[in-house]
Structure 1
């Protein structure tokens, strides 16, 4: 039996996958949607990006946001490490 999903729901799932970096498997389990359906929606969105300038802009924005989120997470890890190192050396000086 085929389920019908609203376009907004599909867009949300695609957004979570492409922008948030969520896995297809994780989304499928969380939203009770087949992995094949999610893969098809992502594929359709990517095809639409080749035709529609608006969809292309959305896709580029999602990719950029994902890249920036990964970069931010890495910088936060480095910052936390440097704080620990600074605290360690501060104790050594006292």
Structure 2
């Protein structure tokens, strides 16, 4: 049985992938095949370039980059907290 998805849903899934979410996690979370996600993402990219509105695509790339940078900063903060806790135990 073929499942039919709304165009807006497809666009949201493609945007999630372009923002850095892995295909596997999207597939598991929304119950969509990996091939469908790839196809929708490809179509979404083509639509963005066909409309000469690369602005939305650029924004998605920037969002993905910022999410990656945020994740790195959160890791650094966690490391520094652990280091501070370790060194405070050493001093006492």
Structure 1 length-normalised TM = 0.79
C-alpha change, 1:40 and 1:89, in structure 2 (3 Å) is same
CA RMSD of aligned residues (A): 1.9
Equivalent residue number for residue 57 of structure 1: 55
Q: Structure 1 runs of 4+ off > 6 angstroms?
A: none
CA distance in 2, matches of 1:84, 1:36: 41
Is 1:32 equivalent to 2:35 in the alignment? Answer: no
Which sections of structure 2, spanning at least 5 residues, go unmatched?
none
CA distance in 2, matches of 1:84, 1:28: 35
C-alpha displacement of 1:69: 1.0
User: Residue deviations 1:61-88, cap 9 Å, x none?
Assistant: 1111111111111111111111221222
Secondary structure in 2 matching 1:87: helix
Is 1:41 equivalent to 2:40 in the alignment? Answer: yes
Secondary structure in 2 matching 1:63: helix
Which sections of structure 1, spanning at least 5 residues, go unmatched?
none
